Structure 1
């Protein structure tokens, strides 16, 4: 068998401990022992801090069998970002989508977060949303040791994903050199002053970590606790849409239908604790137990004025209409006699994440290792989202109307209004719904207002309370047999079984003020002054504590699910049982006197999926439901090949071939249905009309090819160029399919239709369509000391990714992948010397489609404009600066989104038709780290 022969540079890196996380570190250590005499002649230069982290990341990439990108922390708690999403978004080919100003969802090479797998210490993780995509801002960087992104798979990797796999790693205490006790602290400030009087514009973060070894380095402990209170503020323009309007000249133009601009003040509270216990009582036995717990509470205070325009009750003054002839868009107009809704909203999103893992390996012989792994991952998420309405009177035609004009000021920033009323006047603005939004027969009957002028006026607010429970249990048994031949160094094989159960409960409540039908002024004890809506021209607006009012019983509640079928159709349980078996050969041979390493393998995946839900129908204004259950099973064979040809000691050619899958979103697989029966068949000859989830959805499939060239010209530097291609099949689109409704009763009559009328047409998600995605990736890490020793410590990290696709749906229409930006760039300039640590980073992506939360917290897809986010950091390490008495202490100042880049989505192709314009401002952090 060919033995890996490291260069002197590699030996120096090994002795410094920089490739401890490398997939091939075991082989390298073996080579180190064989070349001990050569190693003794090497001068070891230890590189610490950010540069040390670069060296370790490069080493992981260089010695991995797969195509990977990685980030690592020199010590636990040293990653400089607020979440893992911020950190990995700077890697080549990766891009982040922001949620409430924070990087949250991550796409890999043009694929959205649902097309990639996420693991913690190699074990799949659950998610807090309806779908599979992990929101990475749940995971604190402060308690992580590093992240590896696998762009090509191998058969032994447990997670699945067409785009790739993101593996977060905890520290290994027995791999550390001695005891570590460390404290980190940060003070946080937003560039906006308080946008809401009860909001926060300052916060803090603190981390304590402890690592130690006992019993002759046979038992190790690592513990980290992190607490964060992070403020975030936003000035937001949001539109209802842009309908057609007949202008003064008789032609149709697009006009603003309505708008909901507001200011938001959020506070993210996150408590995280991680514990790792590692034991190696003998040379043959090794055991590791790791646990991660995260409590995540995101509190949002939102205040603004909802302005109906073309879709309102007012009359548009034809003489005020200004049309942009080039786009056919009305850029300015005035609506007369309009009544608006003053909104004082509150939202609280709470999630608890628990991740437990136990791994043990036993060396039965010198060449045979047996491994057992068990893990548990769970999330519980609840949302409390309330809207409180007020205005000048109850109902459409009560109260003082307003004449309001608007003008779009160009770009993508939305419109500025010109109102005639003072919305900061507590005597003018009173509690109660100013528009007839309470279209519920149960609500009307409760207050006895059917057939009266007050009909449909009892909705004075709304409360949404969806919840998610997601639980995953995995068991794995694996073995590795080392071989002694000229081709295969080891054979790995194993079997695993995982069960995942995800449950969503949806409910909403109409809120009605206790004094209905009166419209009282806001009680003094709930008044908070005013908020400034000058950024949209609306002036001051009253601010009151609607959450306290609700919790103190000032509102009555009525469940919306009594008369609205949407909650029944959005409540479901999906269960997945997945059994895997794999075999993989690790390759180690020579081709034309050049080392060739890698792996070849195949994974067999058998899946059984089932769902419990409800079939619902609105009968005479009342929702009727009946239980529904469905199941489906299928299997896949997934071969993979990874090859790395070492042309020289510095240059490597890589080839990756693999078939991969990405499972359907869990909310798309639910069994809940909306049904209706008609005596007259539809165009397909079916009598039932059905909409809902589809449990028979199967995974999207891709056959991928990766080819890359890597040149590691320095301990701290490399350059690479990569080409990638994926043939996509079995994608998921909206469509229709036939369903069997035999034995199901017509909800209106209770009578089961005859068998010949038992077929139905269901609208939902279907498999179909195909296409191709291809692209290239260029990346470089360039330490300037390769040019001159005087530039030691100065460097550049940069990457560019270009992506194209030609995907079509089952009807032959072009389709754009969610998360696909056709251009992604990342650049970081750093300087680290004599204790000084400076870094400036920019990440840029072009326009893309992305998923956001819509009405009722449904996931909706929108067009998102490209963005460039700039961050910077300056710090000083006193120990590295020569202050021995302060050794271990470092301080830093960070700034995020320094250019105040907004998050902008559009409604259609017209750049003036802004759906969302979210201005977050900048965020600054001042902090320290002290290591005993």
Structure 2
């Protein structure tokens, strides 16, 4: 068969800065003349070239970021680097890019792998939070936008694969030290917070025994501060100015949306992470290669939050009708004053701990020149605990005790929330004392413990249901995953097919969540002693400023120390609240897959055609254990549940590359793909209740809510068509169109279920026949529709215009996405994570050791997941954002300073324009749920390579 031979330029491209594609480069070089001059580009430009070549020589549609050396990815965060790739973007979580969306789909619709193996996650679901993984120990990331049959992970959006270095491919000893100092743009927002941090990495790569054994080791430690000024609202109820009350069934006349209440605060966080990575590679013969890799991450995220919860329409104060100002366009009450209002001063502390361990072993053996086999096994586990304390204080215990305040609010017309006016000094330790100033919840167990019952002879009416002086959320997650893979390949002497790959894989995953909460009550509280307690001197920390929302200073004290030292008694909320059992569950998945794939190497006329065609059969057995919980006379009754389900899919895939010439390629991809249901949606825990008083709107007397362990995956058939032009060693242009035919999704639903013979939990008796149906609330499969879009990407080195511009260049991309999705009832539905426009831009200069670049990533509005009350996943409307970063650096060796060869320094500014994170709650942009201002971050770093 006649095939074109690679030119000298192609060979140079394939070898320029390549480590992960070294074997491919060697194959190309074998056909070249011995005097080929290899283009060697280092630094950021070297990373760009390697990323381009990964895309160019892949059989699939991929995007890639690569490191010139281990520990030298272009950004301090993997998520930030990934988010600049065409079609990708990130959602910030507490100021850090963490969750990555691919082509309009949320993080739950893409799979994440580490050296090709699926990953566990520290969240409640499947989506990986990338700030768990240090960029300093990674050699690169590849994003597969089209799958192949041998890819051992499933995701409608794609697969994100993080890679460690292969020490034998490096070919030299490398000892490197990296360090960074970090400074937040805000001064300390809390007196006990951090505004300075550091990170450091030491890495070692070497080869032994005549380059048959290679070792790579990296250790990274980090203490990274993050600060935030946050406006947060409770919500926006309808309010009647004329009747001076929130709308109810008796309200008459006009009503307007009004601020129900607010919880603004300042947050100081410190993310501490210690990571160690080890890779041992052995190639005792030319036919055998064995690799062992291990990763350990110890992750602690400590948050200190201080703020004031201010009730308005939902408070006990009276709103002055004359103070209400109504926006003419939206009808929203933009400002008002509430008189006689009492607030809750909050000093909160949260600690999130996670520990990840992962081990993997891979061996490849070439039985002959034609046959090879591969075996891969891995085990990964993550444990996560959260300890989140809310501490309450105020002017007096109970809704009607203590000094009240007249508080006003005014929205400024933007998305920044409201400014407040007040009359009290909330930094006065004599005025603001420990204790519950407002009624949050009625707990039968709490009232029984402290004698707060209607049968009491004491006059405690002012304090009844006020034994809650704080609360602790303490959920735990454990996620375990074991994988096995056995594959083989056969090289063919065929005009169309160059190789056949086939094999099987097995994944066994178990994820469990335990939910718990604790009521906090001041030690010594009783019906005889229901008062407040002054903050002891040794726990006072001065004050925290809330000037950014007009509330002045507030008292600051060490909440965690007060709890640890026994100043509060704790009582489990799960004693009388079934929600903790319904949020506790175990989900198990056993996935067995078989695949066969043919690698294509043919000609269409005179056009070389490469790629692959294959099919993957996936069998899934899932089960879940949990609880069916009910509340009976204020106490919890629970029955264990155990539900199993299985299903299978046949997933064909096709990838074709048409080499128009050595620079231009047209790609086509088609595949059926699946995304498995979120784990917090497919559990077997549920809550049931029965009311014989009257049926609900559906005519049912039972109410059942919870997970659905019989959920099956979302399904889609995708098509990709792209044009790629590699016009220079450092430059390319691509245009792509993609389409997803979604045939099944997952939606909320309420439906009737038959509960014949089920006894009433309160009486133990089976209800009458006409009261044996229930309304079930859960997720269900169904619906579908279309998603389509386009991507434009350009990497342009300016030296193609003139040699004097060598070192200048831009990297830019634009993605547009549209959807037409309907739920199972035919209603329009907006996909979570979908921004209809995504843009990225990097302008760089690198020459003679000097490096400078500025980067921008931009996305339009979207729906995103955040942590809500009790750390439940909550979806909100998030405003689009544009984030700018910049970095300058100098490599002394490249600059000709021989005495400092190997040393480079960098200075980076993140979030230059102080772009906030904004989410909405209502029909108007004025109805802000969250306005989070993180400020800027400054990093000064160095790297030294021996």
1:32 aligns with 2:29: yes
Provide the residue aligned with 2:849 in structure 1.
835
Cα RMSD of the aligned pairs, angstroms, is: 1.4
Distance 1:492-1:530 versus aligned 2 partners, 3 A rule: same
Provide the residue aligned with 2:644 in structure 1.
631
* Kept after mapping to 1: 8 A contact 2:48/2:65: yes
1:230 aligns with 2:224: yes
Q: CA deviation at 1:327?
A: 1.1
1:306 to 299, 306, 309: 309
Q: CA deviation at 1:436?
A: 1.4
Provide the residue aligned with 2:211 in structure 1.
217
1:368 to 371, 378, 381: 371
2:812 to 798, 810, 821: 798
Distance 1:193-1:243 versus aligned 2 partners, 3 A rule: same
Q: CA deviation at 1:42?
A: 2.7
What is the correspondence of 1:326-337 to structure 2 with a 5 Å cutoff?
A: 326-337=329-340
Further displaced range: 68-77 or 247-256:
247-256
Provide the residue aligned with 1:13 in structure 2.
13
1:493 aligns with 2:506: no
Provide the residue aligned with 2:932 in structure 1.
918
* Kept after mapping to 2: 8 A contact 1:2/1:589: no
Q: CA deviation at 1:284?
A: 1.4
Q: Deviations over 1:866-905 (max 9, x none)?
A: 0000000000000000011111000010010010000000
What is the correspondence of 1:769-780 to structure 2 with a 5 Å cutoff?
A: 769-780=783-794
2:517 to 505, 508, 519: 508
Q: Deviations over 1:540-576 (max 9, x none)?
A: 1000001100011000001111111110100000000
CA distance in 1, matches of 2:5, 2:116: 28
Q: CA deviation at 1:688?
A: 3.5
Q: CA deviation at 1:741?
A: 4.2
Q: CA deviation at 1:300?
A: 0.2
Q: CA deviation at 1:778?
A: 0.2
2:388 to 343, 364, 385: 385
Provide the residue aligned with 2:713 in structure 1.
699
* Kept after mapping to 1: 8 A contact 2:628/2:688: yes
CA distance in 2, matches of 1:477, 1:755: 56
Provide the residue aligned with 1:650 in structure 2.
663
Q: CA deviation at 1:723?
A: 0.3
1:866 aligns with 2:865: no
Provide the residue aligned with 2:415 in structure 1.
412
1:663 to 676, 685, 709: 676
What is the correspondence of 1:407-556 to structure 2 with a 5 Å cutoff?
A: 407-451=410-454, 452-453=460-461, 454-516=463-525, 517-556=530-569
CA distance in 2, matches of 1:78, 1:19: 14
CA distance in 2, matches of 1:258, 1:668: 30
Q: Deviations over 1:42-83 (max 9, x none)?
A: 322310000000000000000000000000000000014232
Q: CA deviation at 1:27?
A: 4.9
CA distance in 2, matches of 1:326, 1:736: 35
Distance 1:895-1:4 versus aligned 2 partners, 3 A rule: farther
What is the correspondence of 1:660-809 to structure 2 with a 5 Å cutoff?
A: 660-678=673-691, 688-739=702-753, 741=755, 744-752=758-766, 760-809=774-823
Q: CA deviation at 1:285?
A: 1.1
Q: CA deviation at 1:30?
A: 2.4
Q: Any idea what SS the aligned residue of 2:464 has?
A: coil
Q: Any idea what SS the aligned residue of 2:47 has?
A: helix
* Kept after mapping to 2: 8 A contact 1:602/1:638: yes
* Kept after mapping to 2: 8 A contact 1:108/1:164: yes
CA distance in 2, matches of 1:909, 1:689: 30
CA distance in 2, matches of 1:223, 1:877: 24
* Kept after mapping to 1: 8 A contact 2:19/2:170: no
* Kept after mapping to 2: 8 A contact 1:690/1:761: yes
Structure 2, unaligned runs of 5 or more:
244-252, 455-459
Structure 1, unaligned runs of 5 or more:
none
CA distance in 1, matches of 2:19, 2:884: 31
Q: CA deviation at 1:251?
A: 2.5
What is the correspondence of 1:160-171 to structure 2 with a 5 Å cutoff?
A: 160-171=154-165
CA distance in 2, matches of 1:404, 1:488: 76
* Kept after mapping to 2: 8 A contact 1:116/1:161: yes
Q: CA deviation at 1:84?
A: 1.1
Q: Any idea what SS the aligned residue of 2:368 has?
A: coil
Further displaced range: 686-695 or 111-120:
686-695
Q: Any idea what SS the aligned residue of 1:75 has?
A: coil
CA distance in 1, matches of 2:769, 2:152: 46
Further displaced range: 672-681 or 502-511:
672-681
Q: CA deviation at 1:224?
A: 0.2
* Kept after mapping to 1: 8 A contact 2:492/2:498: yes
1:134 to 119, 124, 128: 128
Provide the residue aligned with 1:45 in structure 2.
39
CA distance in 1, matches of 2:274, 2:117: 22
Distance 1:322-1:684 versus aligned 2 partners, 3 A rule: closer
Q: Any idea what SS the aligned residue of 1:36 has?
A: coil
* Kept after mapping to 1: 8 A contact 2:10/2:662: no
CA distance in 1, matches of 2:405, 2:917: 31
* Kept after mapping to 1: 8 A contact 2:487/2:503: yes
Q: CA deviation at 1:742?
A: 5.8
Provide the residue aligned with 2:865 in structure 1.
851
Q: CA deviation at 1:745?
A: 3.3
